[in-house]
Structure 1
Amino acid sequence: MTGNTSFKLDNATRALFLDVHTSIAISAIYMVVTAINLIGNGFSMWLLVFRTHPKTPSIIFMINLTLTDIFLGAALPFQIAYQLQGYHWNLGPKMCSIMTLVFYTNMYCSILTMMAIGIDRYLGIVKPMRFKETRVRKPMAVMSCLIMWAVVLIVLSPLMTTDLTFDVQELGITTCFDVLKKDMLPNLYAWAFFLFGMVFVLFLFPFCVTTFCYVSVIRKLARNSKTAQKARAIRLAFIVLLVFTFCFAPSNILLLIHTVLRLFYGKSLYMAYKLSLCFSCLNSCLDPFIYYFASKDFRQKLRRIINLRSLSSMDSMKMEHKESFYSTHNTVGLEAEHR
């Protein structure tokens, strides 16, 4: 963070900008994530929108989650190009703000949507006697998604109203959200509010709620449920908590620590934070597994499609075998006649 253009980069940030191998490694991970993201979530969106009926609250939440993942997949190629050009952004301040907003909106909308799916499962499994009165209904699910987007956009509003590009004269590059101005926000209180909103409101609180919901579901099913249902619930809880702890927790914790160190002690953890952001994108590759274990209809439709493909391939193999069999016998017959 800096307040003027005549400044010198700290050693950690300079090392990041000059480390070509790290840049290539992060870009390679982003390329793999982009491919898996667009293929997996594109197929999931088609299945959720056109092949899954009725549109239950869980399905609506999954469509919302898939939409944020596809946005991220569309934005990552810009991040890849930016890093491969040596952290030089040449698409202007507006595009930088849009891409940065898309990146962080995906993370926090995903977190809030996973919390919503967890609450919906908690009310349906742990509180079945109150199902009609308390469980999320379709209009409420749509409204919840709109509220999620509104909350995230309000917290991240500084990213929309500030020029996030910065000319690093000593390296001859223009960065995008890698060197922040202190006057991006008016004072330290505004910075504290911004960080509190990102780390505590958009991450820590949803993480606690989601953990409580899935632990309660597992405890309920452990007492009285079928083995298959219990196993699916445990796998779903494991995947969701894995996404939180492996994808979301490192970047949010490091963001808080890095900002405090940078504002008050002149130190930096930027290299570690940049790497953690890379891993946070992996959530978009794991989300289709959440759909599989969370939705019975999604699971059945996917199995049906896979079975149809496997049956068609088996039929083609049988036809080839028959053709080969008849061809062989006809050849033998012709040879016998020739003799």
Structure 2
Amino acid sequence: MYKISMIIPVYNAEKYLKRTINSIINQSIGFENIELILVDDNSQDNSKSIIEEYVAKYDNVIGIYSNENHGFPGFGRNKGIEIASAQYIMFSDNDDEHDKDLCLKLYEAIVSEDADIASCDKVKRDNIKDIPVSEKYVGGKLSSNGNIIVSNDDLAYFEDITIWNKIFKKEIIADNNIRFVENMLAEDLLFCLEVFFNSSKLLYLEKYYGYFWDMHEESLSHECSPKHVENLLNSIPEMFKILGKYNKKDLASFYFKFYLRNLLRFFIDVNTTESNLKSMIKKLYNYEKEAGFGCKANEGWANIINFFIVHRFFNLAILIIKIMKASKGSAFLRKIFRSV
């Protein structure tokens, strides 16, 4: 019986996939304790061949191959959930890395406290520097081994809604029929909301940076076509719907900030007309209005843009976006915008 089922959706990841898989094979918990499920979403590069290579070499590597591309990772994650046999589930993106002790630390933590979720901190990597990212929480208390226990209603205020630095009790997912939406972005946020609202205890390994999130320009999370920006905007009503389902509408502004940062970054990166950009900004404004205008992003540069949006100075917001777009070619200016 495997201790962990690790699920990785794969699409056109030949450049980084072996590195990601090898960082799982080298886990200190012992690779024999991990069921690795790789779901290829009809890649057009050598990703499928790489998966087949590992499937042939290891009995605990399962390859699933789609004959069509679904466009978003929710499909692959749901396929993995369907066949996962371990009591605990983890997820990874196909281009990131893991600290060698990630699986062991999260597994021991969730088992020792009989928690529903265990989470750790992460490191964002780009071509300037590594950025350690720690999360905020409400009402946590120390466990016997020095980790933070966040329980019951306080779980709704745990600020880390990424899935790949966590381990989940499969029972919570299965018993509540929780799945990823398959046709839109922000699927991880929506999934975490469902899990959090159906869980009673999360264990947080504060200051353990176990997951290395590489900010590759070519990855899906950085693909900033107008279609993807509109898709992210259109996922916001899904968030409102989940909050209504669990009588948590008062948290709309709290969760809206997770969309805000990504949307504002997309506004900087998207290649579109100024009139279309303004249309997107107005749609964001309307959603902020619905959320109560109480939202602030976690990064200063985003709050600069958002200040003008919430006050309906859309042209000034576009001007700042243009300046920040121009700054992307300058490491010096990017460092300045990091600090504001």
Establish whether TM, by shorter chain, passes 0.5.
no
Give the TM-score of the pair, scaled to structure 1. Answer: 0.25
Question: Normalization by structure 2: what TM-score?
Answer: 0.25
- Larger helix proportion of the pair: 1
Could you say which structure has the larger radius of gyration? 1
The structure whose residues are more often strand, as a share, is: 2
